[in-house]
A and B are shown apart, each in its own frame.
Chain A
């Protein structure tokens, strides 16, 4: 393996991990409601921007990060409570349009609360690059990979081992049966918005020291996360992770070996290709409507 290839691979893994976190957020809400939440990217933005503000008022990372994640989760819960819940019973398309409206609203709000400039966040632990097999990796990238791994493990524990997690899964598989078992499916939807928002915020905070953050950082990251979720199969946890990593690596490889001009186009090519040839993605549920 050439050092150059290793370099692209490491960069791709880092970006891919972020996409995976965003994609997981898409999948969790999709599972609870069949809705694709296009405000997912805004949670990423809120995470990064809130951390910047909290650091600016003098809080240490150890406090600023949990607070920023909590703030994003609250926004997610409020979005469900005040925008999605009142439209209960509306069609999925209506709900998706509501989330698009919410994303525009949140972006606008961010320009008022904050501003339209780019903000850099200091890396968590220094910025001296580490050399691995001729390639270099930033300590922040290790944070991205490590935290993403921890989040994925925590999620698989939550959905595989806890009763509440299983109840959320059960609701996604069969809403009627979940209701008849006494699971409060409205609460499940509420929780999934909070959880997805928290995941998005974590992604936004992790990536901010590498790429900087701004009020509209969520537009592109949201779309990339959506592409990753589509590639992996909307609703599949494994798919979100695989889709995110695959998209990240494809992107950096094509930027490195072809031209960086095409970097962002890759995500859109993938969305189109998946929609045309493999609408259920790599790990998605097969088949059409259940009657």
Chain B
């Protein structure tokens, strides 16, 4: 198993945000995490990246315990997150943003990575000298994805990649997710667009107030009455 999470807990002050999460992601899988606002999706992803303190439980990656590993060590192992809200380095150029994504990779890997990202998102190449903050929301999301890919992820954590985007751009982002899956990148995807996320996922977990309440294949959950009612608006 690539990623195994056991009884993971996390608190904001005294308020629990995660109450014993168990889940796993296998090599090459695309696993989705669905849940309402405040269910703890972002907290979980941040805990996996090591930027959110963990109060209980264990995280294993390739069998090795990384519960206490520093964020940069996890990136080195290949756990890379594209954070919610894009979080690009606004005043830095598009190319510098991408280059920093490969901060822990070699010069040659970075140069290859930049070409790959430009091939995937040609608009970024056009704008490569411009400050990232001047890009549109959709372009910033592409840049955030590109910056994540620069780190050569083995496990890509995507937090709300389609949030706030026009439908056409949402389709483009999901096309990119499918392409990454086809290229056998392991992906753990959080998205409020539950229908699109479940449709593209091999398996999925449903999170409610810090607990996993349901799990199954994407197709199963799409048919689940509870899920339909709560997250698909049917």
Contacts and interface: CB of A to CB of B under 8 A. Distances in A.
Interface residues of A, number: 16
Interface string A173-217: 110111111111000000000000000000000000000000000
Majority SS at the chain A contact face: helix
Contact of A163 (B49, B51, B89, B99): B99
B147 A181 contact: yes
A212 B100 CA distance: 44
B87 A182 contact: no
A96 interface: no
Nearest to B148: A180
Contacts of A181: 75, 100-101, 103, 147, 151
Contact of B87 (A163, A166, A177): A177
B88 interface: yes
Interface string B137-154: 000000000011001000
Contact of B103 (A163, A169, A174): A163
A167 interface: yes
Nearest to A177: B87
Interface stretch (B9-17, B33-41, B76-84): B76-84
Contacts of B7: none
A180 B92 contact: no
A176 B89 contact: no
Contacts of B49: 179-180
A182 B72 CA distance: 4
Contacts of B50: 179
A181 B81 CA distance: 8
A170 B83 contact: no
Given A166-B96, A166-B99, A170-B100, A180 B80 contact: yes
Contacts of B75: 180-182
A159 to B, nearest CB: 10
A167 B101 CA distance: 10
Interface in A230-257: none
B83 A173 contact: no
Given A179-B51, A180-B49, A180-B80, A169 B72 contact: no
B100 A180 contact: no
A289 to B, nearest CB: 16
Contacts of B87: 174, 176-177, 180
The 7 closest A-B pairs by CB, nearest first: A182-B75, A177-B87, A182-B104, A179-B71, A170-B89, A182-B72, A184-B72
